[in-house]
Amino acid sequence: MFRRLAGAKARAEVVIDVDGERVVAREGDTLAAAMLVAGCVPFRASERSGAPRAPLCMIGACFECRVEVDGAGSRRACQVVVVPGMRVRRSRAARPGA
Amino acid sequence: MSERTAGETDVVVVGAGPAGMAAATRAASLGLRVRVVDEQQSPGGQVHRGVTRGDEGVGPRFGDEHLRGRELVRALHASTATVEPGATVFDVDPELGVAVLRDGIAHEIRARHLIVATGAIERAVPFPGWTLPGVMNAGAAQVLLETSACVPSGRVVLAGCGPLLLLVASQLADAGANVVAVVETTGAIDHARALPGLPRALATPATFARGLAWLRALRRHGVERIGGIRSLAAEGAGRVERVLVGVGDRAREIAVDTLLVHAGVVPNPQLARLMRLEHRWDERALAWRPRVDAFGRSSDPRVSVAGDGAGIGGARAAETDGAIAAIDAAHALGAIDARVRARLCAPLLRERRRHLAVRPWLDALYRPPGWLVDPPDAAIVCRCEDVTAGEIRSVARLGVRGPNQAKAYTRCGMGPCQGRVCGTVVTTILARAAGVAPAAVGYYRIRPPLVPVPLAALARMPGGGNRRDERTGGAM
Amino acid sequence: MGGKGTDAIVVGGGLLGAAIAWGLARHGRSVRLLDEGDDALRAARGNFGLVWVQGKGAGCPPYARWTLRSAAAWPAFARTLAEETGIDVELRQPGGLKFALDEREWRERAATLEALRFALDGDYPFEMLDAAAMRTRCPPVGPAVAGASYCPLDGHVNPLRLLRALVTGLIGRGGTVEPESRVTSIAVRGGVFEVGTVRGRCAAPVLVLAAGLGNRELARRVGLRAPVGPNRGQILVTERLAPFLDLPTEFVRQTGEGNVQIGDSMEDVGYDDRTTRDQMARIAERAVRVFPRLAGVDVVRAWGALRVMTPDGLPIYEASSERPGAFVATCHSGVTLAAAHAGELADWIAGGERPADTGAFVAARLRAPAPGGA
Ligand SMILES: Cc1cc2nc3c(=O)[nH]c(=O)nc-3n(C[C@H](O)[C@H](O)[C@H](O)COP(=O)(O)OP(=O)(O)OC[C@H]3O[C@@H](n4cnc5c(N)ncnc54)[C@H](O)[C@@H]3O)c2cc1C
Ligand SMILES: Cc1cc2nc3c(=O)[nH]c(=O)nc-3n(C[C@H](O)[C@H](O)[C@H](O)COP(=O)(O)OP(=O)(O)OC[C@H]3O[C@@H](n4cnc5c(N)ncnc54)[C@H](O)[C@@H]3O)c2cc1C
C-alpha cells in the first residue's frame, strides 16, 4: 500500500509480529504506518457486513484501524507507536469473550 | 516543564496543536498552573505533528510553517506548563473534572478553567465505495509522509476540494509518488461564488503564493487536473481499483491503487458536544461550531474553545486564538483585570483578523457540492455500523427528524467513533430530507467515553469502588 | 394537521404510546401518534431491554400476574411484528439470572420469591441456584458471586428495534407518526377531544395519554392523575464480543449484536439525564466482580436515561370518568409489558373489557399508603 522514500534518513528497525508474521517497522512508526508499509491490509472486517476495512483518517477519529495489541482490546493503530516484540492481531469479526 | 501530580490545577488545555500550545504557554506566563493533555505522543497537533521527536529529516519538511511549530513546542517546554502526552480526555463532568485515559489507566484532573483546543478533523464525504481499503483521507497520506516518510505505492488519485487537497497532491508528487490525477469538485460556479471574497483575501498575498506554488508543482510533475466533477465512486474487489468520476455528462474511469479524498476540515465536535456547549450551524462552512465570544469563551463561562475546534481558521489563527483564550482565562480566574486583558488581547485580535481575511474566499471557492455532502442512497454513511444514506432517508419517513432518533432506529453513530465521521453528514441528510435548516435538525448527543475505555479502568476510577452501599438497581 | 376521521390520538411516541397506538390500529382504528422532537426525554431510547418477570410484583400479586401474562404473550407479539414489518426484535426468552453476592442476599431472595409463589397459588416458576449450579448454567460468573435465582420466563429484546417495529407497523396500518408535535392544550367539545400542539391542532373521540414524564402535566387536563417522576439509570455498553453469555442477567446481558450491556443505576436526580463517573465506575466495578473476564473489554458507549416512576413503582392505567374517552397509561417496565399494552390494554381502550388484574392500577391508590413495591 505504502512504500518508504528512498532518500529518507533511516531509523532503527523495530521488529513486530502481525498475525504471526514478522514485520519490520522503523522506530517512531505508528503501528498503522508500519502495517500499511508492510501491506497488512485489510486491518479489520466490518462487524456487520464482513467487508474489509483499512485506515481512513490516521488522526484517531475514524476508528477504522482498530487492531488487537498485545492482547489488549481494540486499539487505534494510528495512535500506537511500535515497540520491539509488539504482538498484533488483526480483527476477526469480533473478539472472543475475553 | 515541571512535573506536577494530577489533581487540581488552574487551567487544563486539551490538545497541543498550535492553539493548545500557545494557550498553555501564555497561561503559564500569566502565573497560572497549567496542564496540557494530548493524545499524540508529542506536542504539535495536526500541522506540527511530531516536530520535536528528533526525527527531522524523516519526512520532508515544509518551510517556515515547520520552523514555527518548533518554536511553539520549544516555548511550551520552556514554560511552567505540565505536558501530558499520550493522554486522551474521555469525559469532562459539570464540575470540570477532566477524565484522562493514559496507558490503559484512567485518572482525573480538576480544572478551574478549561481550554478546548482539539482542532479539526477532515470532513467525511461518503460516496459509493469509500469504505474500500485504499481509499483514505488526503490528510492521512500527509500524516504518513511526515511521520514515516512513506508514500502510497502505485497510482494515486486525489479527489474532492480544498487547499489541503492541492497541498497534499503536491507534497506527494514532490516526494516521488505517482500522482496521476487531481479530481476536483471545484468548478466555474465556485469561482464565481468566491469572487466577492477575493479582494479581502488578496490582502494576504502569502497564501496565494503558496497555492500557486502547489499548482506549479503539479504541472511540473505532469499531474492531470480534472475540475467541476459531478459524481464520484470507487470500485474494486476487496480494495480500490478504479475511481469513477462524472465530468460533464460523461463518466470517466481511472485505474488507481490509492484514492485520497478531501473536502475541507470541520471542527472536531466531540468534547464541546460532550459538554453540551451551545453550537450553531455555520452555513458558509457547512459545519457546526461552538458558540464563542471574541475571546473564545463558550456558553459555559468556565470553558473556552480555541483554534480550529471553534471554527476553521488555520494554524496561525489557531495560535492567536490560543493566546487570546489564555489571557481571557487569566481574567476569568482573577489573575488579571479587564483592562490588562484588553491591552494584551488587542494586538492578537488584530492579528487574528488578518489571518482570517482569506477564509470567506476559501470557504466559498472550496464549498463541497450538494451531491457530496448529501450522498446517494447506496453510500455507507456510518462506517462503524454500516448504515447507508438510504437507510437514514427511510427512517426519516418514519417520523425521524433528528440524528438521535435516527441513531436509535438505525444504529448510525453508535460505533466506537461515536459519530465523529458521520455526524455532520447525518445532520445534512435529515435536514435536506425534511427541507429544513440543519440547525433545526440538531446533532448527536455525545456521551462519554469519547474513546473506548477498558471496563477495569472505569471501575478503578476515583469515586468508583468506595460508594458500593448506594443502590445500583436492577434494570426492569 | 388535517385530522378528518381520526378515531384516536395517542400522545407520546415512547414504548407505551407506540405499543398502544399499534394495538389500536390493529383494531382498525385510525390513529395519530403525537410525539416530541429529537432531543426529548424518551425512556424508550435509553432502556436495558429486559423482558423480566423475576421478582416483579413482590407484595402486589396482580402486578406479578400482569407481568407473567405479558411475558407469555411476547413470542406471538414478536412474531406478529416481524410478519407485519420485517423487523426482528431479537426476542430471546432463555430464562434469566439474578445474582446474590453473599449468603444472606441469597436467602432473602429465596424468601421473597417463595412468598410470591405462595401468593400466586404456586404458579410461579423459579429456582434458587447455589454457586455450583449457577456456574453450570452460566460458566463465566466469577468467584465473588455466591449464587443466583433463575426464572425460566425471563428474556430480553432489542428495545430500539421494538420501537422502530411498532412505529413501522402503525404506519403500515395507516396510522401517522407526528414528531415535533408536543401537546400543549386539550379541550373537549361535544365528546371530541381537541388537542393543540406546537404545530397545529387535531381532534378525535379517543385520547390516550402515554407521554411518559409528560403525563404528569397532561393527565390533569382530562380529570386524571399521573403523579410520575424521573429516576435516572445509567448504562454502559462494551465493544462487540463473540457470544459468551447465552442468557440475560439482571444487569449484564449480551445483545444480538454481540455488545455487552451493563446496567444500571437508580438515582433521584430530577430531570438530569447525564452520566456521572462515580456511577459509571460503580457499574463497571460490579460487572467486573461478577464477570472477571470483562475487565479488559472496552466500554464504547454510556448513557443516562430517565425512568418514568410512580411513587410505588406500579402502573397507572385509567379511563377518565370526567372526560369519557380519555385514558392515561404509564409504567416503568414498558419493554416487558409491551405485549400486554399492544394486546389487552389496547383491546380495552378500543372498547373491550378492562384487563384482569389491572383494576388496582388507578391513581386513587396513591392517596392511600402505597400497596407494596413493584
Ligand atoms: C489530517 C489533517 C492535516 C492537516 N494538514 C494541514 C497542513 O498541512 N497545513 C495546514 O495549514 N493545516 C493543516 N490542517 C489544518 C490544521 O489542523 C489546523 O489549521 C491547525 O492544526 C489547527 O490547530 P489547532 O491547535 O486548532 O488543532 P490541532 O493542530 O488539530 O490540534 C488538536 C490536538 O488535539 C488533540 N486532541 C483532540 N481530541 C483530544 C482528546 N479528546 N484528548 C486529548 N487530545 C485530543 C489532537 O491529538 C491534536 O493534537 C490539517 C488538518 C488535518 C485534520
Ligand atoms: C435506564 C432504564 C432502563 C430500563 N430498563 C427496562 C427494562 O429492562 N425492561 C423494561 O421493561 N423497561 C425498562 N425501562 C422502562 C422503559 O424504557 C419504559 O417503561 C418505556 O420506555 C415506556 O415508557 P413511556 O412510553 O411511558 O415513556 P417514554 O419512553 O419516555 O416516552 C414518552 C414519550 O412521550 C413524549 N411526550 C412527553 N410529553 C409530551 C407531550 N406533551 N406531547 C407529545 N409527546 C410528549 C416524549 O417525547 C416521549 O417520546 C427502563 C428505563 C430506563 C430509563
Tell me how close the Cα of A55 comes to any Cα of chain B, in angstroms: 7
Answer whether residue C17 shows pLDDT above 70.
yes
- Give the residue range(s) of CATH 3.50.50.60 domains in chain C: 8-50+160-227+314-365
Rg from Cα positions in chain A: 13
The C-alpha atoms of residue A66 and residue A44 are separated, in whole angstroms, by 7
Decide: helix, strand or coil at residue B246: strand
Answer whether residue B475 shows pLDDT above 70.
no
In chain A, residues with a C-beta closer than 8 Å to the C-beta of C242 are 94-97
Read off the C-alpha cell for C185: 392544550
Mutation test residue for ligand 2: of C308, C309, C318, the one with most atoms within 8 Å of CB: C308
The C-alpha atoms of residue C335 and residue C315 are separated, in whole angstroms, by 13
If phi > 0 it is left, if psi is from -120 to 50 it is alpha, else beta; for residue C348 that is alpha
Q: Which fold has domain B374-441?
A: Arc Repressor Mutant, subunit A (1.10.10)
The C-alpha atoms of residue C330 and residue C210 are separated, in whole angstroms, by 6
Residue-number span of the structural domain to which A55 is assigned: 13-94
Q: Note whether residue A6 is domain-resident.
A: no
pLDDT digits (tens, 9 = 90+) for A45-71: 998 899 999 999 999 999 999 999 998
Answer whether residue C325 shows pLDDT above 70.
yes
Q: Which residue has the cell 484517531?
A: A60
The C-alpha atoms of residue B83 and residue B44 are separated, in whole angstroms, by 12
Decide: helix, strand or coil at residue A31: helix
Cβ distance C258 to A72 less than 8 Å, yes or no, reads: no
B269 strand-pairing partners: none
Q: What is the mean pLDDT of residues B2-20?
A: 81
Closest CA to A52 of B125, B126, B131: B131
Superfamily name and number for B134-263: FAD/NAD(P)-binding domain (3.50.50.60)
In chain A, residues with a C-beta closer than 8 Å to the C-beta of B53 are 28
What ranges do the domains of chain B cover?
A: 8-121+266-361, 134-263, 374-441
The reported pLDDT for the residue numbered B472 is: 46
Please report how many Cα atoms fall inside a 13 Å half-sphere around the Cα of residue B76, on the Cβ side: 34
The reported pLDDT for the residue numbered C370 is: 45
Return residues 436-455 of B near C (CB < 8 Å). 441-442, 445, 447-449, 452-455
Beta strands in B328-433 (DSSP E): 380-382, 387-388
How remote is the C-alpha of C291 from its chain's centroid? 26
The C-alpha atoms of residue B381 and residue B370 are separated, in whole angstroms, by 15
Q: Percent of chain B beyond pLDDT 70?
A: 92
Answer whether residue B469 shows pLDDT above 50.
no
Tell me how close the Cα of A48 comes to any Cα of chain B, in angstroms: 7
Q: Percent of chain C beyond pLDDT 90?
A: 93
Mutation test residue for ligand 2: of C47, C166, C251, C331, the one with most atoms within 8 Å of CB: C47
Answer whether residue B3 shows pLDDT above 50.
no
How remote is the C-alpha of B288 from its chain's centroid? 12
* Full DSSP string of C139-162: TT--TT--EEEEETT-EE--HHHH
- The answer for residues whose C-beta is within 8 angstroms of residue C291's C-beta and 6 or more apart is C140, C141, C142, C245, C252
Q: What is the mean pLDDT of residues B198-222?
A: 90
Read off the C-alpha cell for B75: 516555548
Rg from Cα positions in chain B: 23
The C-alpha atoms of residue B172 and residue A33 are separated, in whole angstroms, by 16
pLDDT digits (tens, 9 = 90+) for B286-315: 999 999 999 999 999 999 999 999 999 999
C277: number of Cβ within 10 Å: 24
Is the CB–ligand 1 distance for residue B321 below 6 Å? no
CB burial of residue B469 (10 Å; 0-12, 13-18, 19+): exposed
Is the CB–ligand 2 distance for residue C14 below 6 Å? yes
The C-alpha atoms of residue B251 and residue B268 are separated, in whole angstroms, by 34
In chain A, residues with a C-beta closer than 8 Å to the C-beta of B420 are 61-62
Is the CB–ligand 1 distance for residue B73 below 6 Å? no
Q: Are B91 and B270 in contact (CB under 8 A)?
A: no
Please indicate, yes or no, whether the overall pTM of this predicted structure exceeds 0.80: yes
Instruction: Identify the CATH number of the domain in which residue A48 sits.
Output: 3.10.20.440
Report residue B60's pLDDT band, with 50, 70 and 90 as the boundaries: low
The C-alpha atoms of residue B27 and residue B34 are separated, in whole angstroms, by 7
Is the CB–ligand 1 distance for residue B119 below 6 Å? yes
Q: Percent of chain C beyond pLDDT 70?
A: 97
pLDDT digits (tens, 9 = 90+) for C269-288: 999 999 999 999 999 999 99
* Full DSSP string of B391-415: HHHHHHTTT--SHHHHHHHH-TT-S
The C-alpha atoms of residue B208 and residue B196 are separated, in whole angstroms, by 16
Q: What is the mean pLDDT of residues C2-26?
A: 91
The C-alpha atoms of residue C301 and residue C287 are separated, in whole angstroms, by 15
Answer whether residue A96 shows pLDDT above 50.
no
Which of A88-97, B63-72, B440-449 comes out lowest in average pLDDT? Answer: A88-97
Q: Note whether residue A63 is domain-resident.
A: yes
Rg from Cα positions in chain C: 21
Q: b or e along C302-335 (b: 16 or more beta carbons within 10 Å of the residue's beta carbon)?
A: bbbbbbbbbebbbbbbbbbeebebbbbbbbbbbb
Q: What is the mean pLDDT of residues B34-44?
A: 95
pLDDT digits (tens, 9 = 90+) for B91-146: 999 999 999 999 889 999 999 999 999 999 999 999 999 999 999 999 999 999 98
Ligand 1 center to B19 CA (angstroms): 9
Answer whether residue B248 shows pLDDT above 90.
no
Cβ distance A5 to B176 less than 8 Å, yes or no, reads: yes
Q: Note whether residue A17 is domain-resident.
A: yes
The reported pLDDT for the residue numbered C342 is: 98
Instruction: Identify which of A47, A74, A94 has the shortest CB distance to residue C298.
Output: A74
Q: Are B12 and B83 in contact (CB under 8 A)?
A: no
Distances (CA, A) of B81 to B21, B34, B96, C324: 10, 5, 18, 70
* Full DSSP string of C78-89: HHHHHHHH----
The reported pLDDT for the residue numbered B476 is: 46
The reported pLDDT for the residue numbered B52 is: 62
Which of B49-63, C47-61, C97-111, C351-365 comes out lowest in average pLDDT? Answer: B49-63
Cβ distance C274 to B465 less than 8 Å, yes or no, reads: no
Is the CB–ligand 1 distance for residue B164 below 6 Å? yes
Read off the C-alpha cell for C245: 453469555
Q: What CATH number has the domain spanning C8-50+160-227+314-365? A: 3.50.50.60
Q: What CATH number has the domain spanning C229-309? A: 3.30.9.10
Q: Are C143 and C71 in contact (CB under 8 A)?
A: no
Q: What CATH number has the domain spanning B8-121+266-361? A: 3.50.50.60
Average pLDDT, rounded, for chain B: 92
Average pLDDT, rounded, for chain C: 94
Partners for B (CB, 8 Å, 3+ pairs)?
A, C
Q: Note whether residue A5 is domain-resident.
A: no
- Greatest extent of chain B over all pairs of C-alpha atoms, in Å: 72
Closest CA to B450 of C264, A48, C240, A61: A61
Please report how many Cα atoms fall inside a 13 Å half-sphere around the Cα of residue A41, on the Cβ side: 25
Closest CA to C267 of C306, C236, C228: C306
Decide: helix, strand or coil at residue B359: helix
Please report how many Cα atoms fall inside a 13 Å half-sphere around the Cα of residue B205, on the Cβ side: 0
pLDDT digits (tens, 9 = 90+) for C213-269: 999 999 999 999 999 999 999 999 999 899 999 999 999 999 988 999 999 899 999
Query: Are both B134-263 and B374-441 of the same fold?
Result: no
Answer whether residue B6 shows pLDDT above 70.
no
State the best of B427, B455, B469 to mutate against chain C, taking most chain C CBs within 10 Å.
Answer: B455
Closest CA to B89 of B454, B458, B420, B448: B448
Q: What is the ipTM of this complex?
A: 0.94
Strand order in the sheet with A72-76: A21-26, A13-18, A87-89, A66-69, A72-76
Report residue A92's pLDDT band, with 50, 70 and 90 as the boundaries: low
How many domains does the structure of chain A reveal?
A: 1
Determine which residue's CA is closest to atom 1 belonging to ligand 1. B139
Handedness of CA B84, B89, B91, B96 (dihedral sign): positive
In chain A, residues with a C-beta closer than 8 Å to the C-beta of B257 are 1
Q: What is the mean pLDDT of residues C13-18?
A: 98
In chain B, residues with a C-beta closer than 8 Å to the C-beta of C295 are 454-456, 459
Q: Which residue has the cell 511530531?
A: B50
Q: Are B363 and B314 in contact (CB under 8 A)?
A: no
Q: What is the mean pLDDT of residues C99-118?
A: 96
If phi > 0 it is left, if psi is from -120 to 50 it is alpha, else beta; for residue A70 that is left
